Amino acid sequence: MGEIIKNRDEKKFIANIQQPQQPEIIRETSKKILLGLHASGKTTFMAALWDLLQHDYSPTDLFNLINIHLIDTEYLTEIHEFWSAYKEVLHTRYEDRHHIDLYIQNINSQRQHTLSFLDLPGDIFRECWTERHWDESIDQYVQNADGVILFINPINQMYPNSINEVYEVYHDVFLDPQDYPFDIDSFFEDMAIPWDVKPWEADDAPSQVKLIDLLQIVLQKCHPDCRFTIIVSAWDTIQFNNISPELWVGRRLPLLMQYLISNFSYRKNFKIFGLSAQGAPYSPGAERERAKQKLENLDTIKRIIVSKAKNEPGTMFDILKWICNE
Amino acid sequence: MDKFHQCLHGYSNKKGHHKIAASISLSRQSEQVMLSMSDRSGSLYNGFKEYITLYSLDSEKEYQYALAKTWEAREIRRPGCVWTHTILFTQKLKDIIQDLYPLMKYFRHPLEPDTVDASFYEKELGISDLEIKKNHDSSDSDRSKKQLIQACLNENNQEKPIVVRAKNAKEYEKLVFEIWSSQKDLTFCTGALSIREISKRPLRVQVVPKKINYRSDMYFINEHNQVIPDKSHITEKVKLFQFIDRLSDDDKVIDQIIQFIKKIVSNNSVFLELFEAAVNYIKQNKHYSLHEIDLFKAYIKYQSDFDGSLLNLSERTRQLYESFPKEAVDILFDNLKNSQELPKIICNGIARAIIEIKIGVDKKLNLLKSLNFFLENFADKNELQIDIQFFIDWQKSNKDIPSIIKLFKKYYPDKKKKKALKKAFLGSFEERTYFKKKNEEHFLLSAFAEFPKLQEYFDENDLLLKKRVKFFWNEVDNEKKKQLIKIVFENRCNELAKIMFSEIVRKIDTDTSKYFIFNQDLGPNKDCNKYLLKKIISSREEKFYLPILENVRQEDTELKQFLIEEFKLHPETPLEQHIDKSRLIIKQMIESGYNVNELISINGKRQILNIIKQLDIELASKKFGEIADLKEFDIIDFFNHIELSIEAGSFISDIKWTEIAKIIHDGNSEQKNDLMLYFLTVGFQHSHSQLVSTAFNPVCAALTNKEFESSTNWKIFQSKYLEKNFFSRKNYGKQLTNLDYLHFNLFKLFSEGRLKKVYFNDIIIEKKLLEKYFLRFQHFYKIKKYKKIYKFIFDVTQGKL
């Protein structure tokens, strides 16, 4: 009798082992393309993201790196070196096409994601506007992409000038209003000849025009449910104005904002973040050392400055969460 | 003289990496290549802050070579930016430039004090001829490294770059320039911070920093002059090159080289590879004067070591004769009797060159002359094959068969010449490129059909006629085919034409047969059509029948008559065997208006059934009248199939059936009784169907009562339908009265044990009741009135009650 009971217990035990109660793992694959003109912070974003995922910093982490596509580690290591040395990353070469596949998991929800990024040189996107050339290698990727991350660098934006502003400049610089002995229009006509006016070229167009043109192409190609993430990089240079990222875009790039609102619904299809992946402005020599000392003791998560809607402070994970659709 | 153009690329905040200025505008594709080649070559590395790149722009027609110097742009805040000054030059200039080194001083850094502004780069670059032709002294370069790189360049695999590890970009700059001077199709980069390629094709030589390691898609040369992978005899090549460098210029250079190669390798294929590498090396470095004639002498001297098929001899022999005619003829006559393969090929090549150049290939007379010449001089002396090239050229220029026949007449008795002639004549058509020219093949085929004399010299095996016809048929259009058929038909008494004609018939498929037979153009008197038709019918392939019959219409009586007679000659047509397939054919024939006689004679007797099935009702009765009229027609054959023809029978009116049955009944056939029985049996078996009224009734009408009773009584019991028909129809009721019917019913009731009742004209007769009443009848027996009834019942029931 005793033996039989023992056997029964064993069976129960085995049954328990055979049916472990684990939550079901969902793995979602999504392809993201990084858009933005040259020096808009695409590569720096990748470097910061890599650092963030690579190290276990604190229990506040939301995402965990599981694995990475091995081919790209060399490139990631290189840009990470620059990032951790508080240097500006090398400009991405014209022929470079960096595919980065990251396998990450949300610690809370246990959902797994395969995020594959395509980091391209900004020159390609500039060519879209100037040469009307759309690279074949991007096209395939864009068609399969379900997420677009657009970078805007507020520092090297070309802002449009209105005619009124031009007049003002002329007046301020060259003329005292009392010295108008002649008709102002004929004055400009005369001026045009000796000054050897530079002809307009495609590169002179305001940055937001270029970006809208780019978005327009992408929008034609990509999936209708594609998520757009607008990242205003170098946010540390703007932050002190106490302005929210979407307000900043609305004020400084009104055409772009108008385009976004009329094509997408806010918070459903697109979101705007402010991001300083570096945490401080790039500056040479002693200033860099100072910034370095200041930031060195901080965790990555604190070094990277992120601003959400209404200028609420956030973290990189907020962006990831939005990108991963969680 | 062509001028040098130039171009500057660099980085600006506004535009990123872009073209700043240029003296020439290039195609979009080239601009893009230049944009990527002018950008940084990889991630930064000390010692590689300035480097030279040479590449070609494949989409450019004129300025397709780009020599570029790249500087790291430390002036720009953003790291990783560069300046690149590119000098563009043409093919012509490339050939003139002796050394790249003197050009280096023309590269201008954009921020140098004497470079005023971008407009400098917008002008053409003035470089004096002297500088271009200057030859740089190369004594101090690393000899062994150079040999190593050249050995790698000698490898066949063009896709793999040769990657040289260096301390800095300057280290092997002169060396690479030197190699370029000897091999001007070289592309290179002296500072490849990553492996550089243009549309996936890497630059051939790339000098790299230490951080780059060996990958399987490259030849890698490390600091210790080791090549990885060293599977491709590179070390042997380097040894060989060193040996060549040590040699002094005399006549025996080649001998010495061959001896040396033999010493270091044993394998034959490697031998050839090394020998070619040595020849290339000598040509590139111009140490010694090496003539083609010397090489040919060497080939013959060491013939067992060389593989003729790998040497590309056919082109080279011609060039040899053009540049060294005297020596070439010497080689030819020295080796005429040499039976080895390689000298043979060389001799043949030279001989051809002699004839082509001396006698010429343009005029037809000259061609025949040269053929004469060739046969006279070479076909005898050894077994040299006449080169097929003559005949190919001959075909191009003229198609003079009679003169060819003359040639055959003249040389045919000589066995060797005969063989050579035949081979040459046919070989010219075998040549693959000419196979594609359909005219040629057509010409050959028609030549054989047309000229009986030519046929005397060939037999079927020589010609591979069947193969030729097959090929021809698959390739050409209908017009050509028609021509061939015409010619072959007209010459059909020739043996070869006959073979060709039967092969053509085999090749004709169903669709084209329609075209050929019924196209009026084929022959004016339809003789050709008939001949073709005859051939097709005798080939007994049923796939032809439908299109033929479809197209021979009623109105074309002549052809139809011919066809019927032709079919009669071949009684066992495949139509008899394939009932299903011939259905369509019969339908077609009926529509074309063939009468039954013709139908049967063409299709065979067994097809009658199908004929019946195909007829519509009105037509059917008409036709069956005809069938019934056929006295000689073996009607039993027809009834063998009657079982299957139930559906068909339903179309035919009763009267017709009666007629048929009467014919059978009145006839003198020995099988008459059997036939009637059979006819009835079938009728009974299918009594549930219409056949009762069609097959059975007329038979009944034809039979006498006795005949009927004797054989069929028992069968009617089994079918109520039959019974009803049998007794209720007026036309048969003449003989069968109601009493007969009662008789029949009572008989049926008492002979079938299971039956309990029968129906007689709506009266139910029950067995039990009848038995009861029969007992009563006994009492009435004496009454006269019932006596008759009693007797009747007693008779019928055979006293069973």
What does residue B774 show for φ and ψ, rounded to 5 degrees?
-60, -40
The phi-psi region of residue A311 (left if phi > 0; otherwise alpha if psi is between -120 and 50; otherwise beta) is left
* B17/A78 touch (CB, cutoff 8 Å), yes or no: no
* B16/A82 touch (CB, cutoff 8 Å), yes or no: no
Contact B146, B178 (CB under 8 A): yes
* A91/B15 touch (CB, cutoff 8 Å), yes or no: no
Chain B contact set for A38 (CB, 8 A): 15-17
CB distance from A203 to chain B under 8 Å?
yes
Among the ranges given (A225-234, A265-274, B278-287, B504-513), the one the predictor scored with the smallest mean pLDDT = B504-513
* B17/A131 touch (CB, cutoff 8 Å), yes or no: no
| pLDDT exceeds 50 at position A186 | yes
* B36/A93 touch (CB, cutoff 8 Å), yes or no: yes
Interatomic CA distance for residues A91 and A81, integer angstroms: 14
Nearest CB among A90, A95, A131 relative to B43 is that of A90
Q: CB under 8 Å to A163, separation ≥6 — which residues?
A: none
Number of other residues whose CB lies within 10 A of the CB of residue B500 = 28
Interatomic CA distance for residues B162 and B190, integer angstroms: 12
Which of the four pLDDT bands, split at 50, 70 and 90, describes residue B188?
A: very high
CB distance from A89 to chain B under 8 Å?
yes
Instruction: Compute CA A49 distance to the chain's CA centroid, rounded to the nearest angstrom.
Output: 11
Q: Output the six-digit token pair for B645.
A: 């023809």
Nearest CB among A78, A94, A122 relative to B35 is that of A94
Give the pLDDT confidence score for residue A193 in this predicted structure.
45
pLDDT tens for each residue of B335-381 = 766 667 777 778 777 777 766 665 555 444 455 555 666 666 555 44
Q: What is the ipTM of this complex?
A: 0.81
Give the pLDDT confidence score for residue B84 in this predicted structure.
94
End-to-end CA separation in angstroms for chain A? 56
* A121/B16 touch (CB, cutoff 8 Å), yes or no: yes
Nearest CB among A39, A90, A131 relative to B44 is that of A90
* B28/A133 touch (CB, cutoff 8 Å), yes or no: yes
Nearest CB among A37, A94, A131 relative to B17 is that of A94
* Shortest Cα–Cα distance, B159 to chain A (Å): 19
* A78/B80 touch (CB, cutoff 8 Å), yes or no: no
Give the pLDDT confidence score for residue A255 in this predicted structure.
92
Signed CA dihedral, B766, B768, B771, B777: sign only: negative
Contact A159, A129 (CB under 8 A): no
Whole-number average pLDDT of chain B:
70
Chain A contact set for B78 (CB, 8 A): 39, 88, 91
**In the predicted model, what is the mean pLDDT of residues B455-477?**
70
pLDDT tens for each residue of A75-130 = 888 898 888 888 888 889 988 888 888 888 888 888 888 888 888 898 889 888 98
Among the ranges given (B16-25, B56-65, B562-571), the one the predictor scored with the smallest mean pLDDT = B562-571
The label of the residue with tokens 């301390």 reads B167
Number of other residues whose CB lies within 10 A of the CB of residue A272 = 24
The phi-psi region of residue B360 (left if phi > 0; otherwise alpha if psi is between -120 and 50; otherwise beta) is left
Give the pLDDT confidence score for residue A301 in this predicted structure.
78
Secondary structure of B367-397 in HEC code, one letter for each residue: HHHHHHHHHHHHHCCCCCCCCHHHHHHHHHH
Nearest CB among A90, A133, A203 relative to B14 is that of A203
| pLDDT exceeds 60 at position B555 | no
Chain A contact set for B40 (CB, 8 A): 90-91, 93
* B36/A94 touch (CB, cutoff 8 Å), yes or no: yes
Chain B contact set for A153 (CB, 8 A): none
Interatomic CA distance for residues B298 and B292, integer angstroms: 10
pLDDT tens for each residue of B581-599 = 556 666 666 666 666 666 6
- With pLDDT > 90 as the criterion, what percentage of chain B qualifies? 9
For residue B792, CA distances in Å to A153, B192, B710, B736 come to 127, 129, 20, 17
The phi-psi region of residue B761 (left if phi > 0; otherwise alpha if psi is between -120 and 50; otherwise beta) is left
DSSP letter for each residue of B13-80? TTTEEEEEEESS---HHHHHHHHHHHS--SS--TT-SEEEEEEE-TT-SSS-EEEEEEEE-TTSSSTT
Contact B11, B129 (CB under 8 A): no
* B80/A91 touch (CB, cutoff 8 Å), yes or no: yes
Classify strands B5-12 and B205-208 as parallel, antiparallel or unpaired. unpaired
* Shortest Cα–Cα distance, A158 to chain B (Å): 8
* B80/A90 touch (CB, cutoff 8 Å), yes or no: yes
- With pLDDT > 70 as the criterion, what percentage of chain A qualifies? 78
Nearest CB among A90, A123, A203 relative to B79 is that of A90
**In the predicted model, what is the mean pLDDT of residues B555-571?**
65
Give the pLDDT confidence score for residue A45 in this predicted structure.
92
Interatomic CA distance for residues B198 and B188, integer angstroms: 11
Q: Is A269 exposed, middle or buried (0-12, 13-18, 19+ CB in 10 A)?
A: middle
CB distance from A82 to chain B under 8 Å?
yes
**Omega cis (within 30) before A245:** no
| pLDDT exceeds 90 at position A19 | no
Chain A contact set for B44 (CB, 8 A): 90
Contact B42, B36 (CB under 8 A): no
Listed residue (B124, B123, B107, B145) closest to B3, CA to CA: B124
| pLDDT exceeds 90 at position A285 | no
Classify strands A270-276 and A98-106 as parallel, antiparallel or unpaired. unpaired
Which of the four pLDDT bands, split at 50, 70 and 90, describes residue B190?
A: very high
Nearest CB among A90, A156, A284 relative to B13 is that of A156
| pLDDT exceeds 60 at position B630 | no
Chain B contact set for A89 (CB, 8 A): 79-80
What is the amino acid identity at position B8? L
* B43/A38 touch (CB, cutoff 8 Å), yes or no: no
Q: Output the six-digit token pair for A61.
A: 């982490």
The label of the residue with tokens 């907020």 reads A318
**Whole-structure pTM value:** 0.58
CB distance from A90 to chain B under 8 Å?
yes
What is the amino acid identity at position A30? S
* A126/B16 touch (CB, cutoff 8 Å), yes or no: yes
| pLDDT exceeds 60 at position B649 | no
The label of the residue with tokens 């150049």 reads B357
pLDDT tens for each residue of B192-251 = 988 898 888 899 999 999 888 888 888 888 888 888 777 667 778 888 888 887 877 666
Contact B83, B109 (CB under 8 A): yes
Nearest CB among B15, B28, B40 relative to A126 is that of B15
* A87/B79 touch (CB, cutoff 8 Å), yes or no: yes
| Of B161 and B140, the one with more pLDDT | B161
* A38/B17 touch (CB, cutoff 8 Å), yes or no: yes
For residue B632, CA distances in Å to B567, B621, B625, B775 come to 19, 20, 14, 61
